[in-house]
């Protein structure tokens, strides 16, 4: 009824705005009651919900930041561990290489020493075989010389005396032959 037509006596088409104080007061009371009801029923839960959501978002952002920092710290720690592991692996590799080189030098030295011992033993064995063969040859030559002298003379020659004579001659000849070597 706010807009009640005002009919003036002769005018049929014009409207006039009538303000009734009673209805203004009722409208203000309705507005205040509606405002208080909305504030209590709707505004409080909505603000609490928005505040709770803002708190959850803030906590999520803080947790994300903490996770990012923790991930960065872990990444740095992993890099340090990898650097340490690489350094230790390099040190182990260097030690192993040095040990292998030292072992190779030691093996070469031992092989050279063993080769020298084998050559010396071969020389000694050859010398012994030479001396043994020479002694055997002297004995055979002496026996043949005694046998030949016995046949030439036609009589038995004292083998012991004759053998000593031949041995002495061979020693003198060996000394002359040995001096040429």
Query: 100-135, pLDDT tens digit by residue?
Result: 999 999 999 999 999 999 999 999 999 999 888 888
pLDDT greater than 50 at residue 9: no
pLDDT greater than 70 at residue 177: no
Q: How far is CA 45 from CA 42, 48, 159, in A?
A: 6, 5, 145
Distance CA(131)–CA(178), nearest Å, equals 12
Residue whose entry in the numeric block shows the structure tokens 């708190």:
55
Q: What is the pLDDT of residue 143?
A: 75
In percent, how much of the chain has pLDDT > 70? 83
Using alpha carbons, select from 126, 140, 129, 149 the residue that is nearest to residue 170: 140
Q: Look over the chain and give the mean of its residue pLDDT values, rounded to a whole number.
A: 83
Phi first, then psi: what are they for 10, rounded to 5°? 160, -15
Using alpha carbons, select from 24, 44, 48, 27 the residue that is nearest to residue 36: 44
Which residue has better confidence, 5 or 70?
70
- SS3 per residue for 111-159: HHHHHHHHHHHHHHHHHHHHHHHHHHHHHHHHHHHHHHHHHHHCCCCCH
Give 35-76 pLDDT, tens digit per residue. Answer: 998 888 888 888 899 999 999 999 999 999 999 999 999 999
Give 94-105 pLDDT, tens digit per residue. Answer: 999 999 999 999
Give 137-167 pLDDT, tens digit per residue. Answer: 877 777 777 777 666 766 666 777 777 777 7
């Amino acid at each position: 009824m706010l807009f009640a037509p005002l009919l003036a006596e002769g005018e049929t088409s014009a409207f006039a705005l009538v303000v009734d104080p009673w209805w203004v007061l009722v409208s203000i009371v309705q507005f205040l009651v509606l405002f208080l009801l909305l504030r209590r029923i709707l505004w409080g839960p909505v603000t609490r919900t928005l505040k709770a959501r803002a708190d959850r978002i803030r906590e999520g952002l803080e947790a994300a930041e903490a996770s990012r920092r923790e991930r960065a710290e872990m990444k740095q720690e992993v890099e340090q561990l990898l650097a340490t592991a690489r350094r230790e692996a390099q040190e182990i590799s260097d030690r192993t290489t040095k040990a292998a080189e030292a072992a190779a030098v030691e093996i070469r030295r031992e092989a050279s020493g063993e080769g020298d011992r084998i050559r010396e033993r071969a020389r000694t064995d050859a010398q012994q075989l030479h001396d043994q063969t020479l002694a055997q040859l002297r004995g055979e030559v002496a026996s043949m010389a005694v046998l030949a002298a016995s046949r030439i003379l036609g009589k038995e020659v004292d083998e012991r005396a004759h053998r000593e004579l031949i041995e002495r001659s061979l020693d003198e000849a060996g000394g002359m032959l040995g001096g040429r070597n």
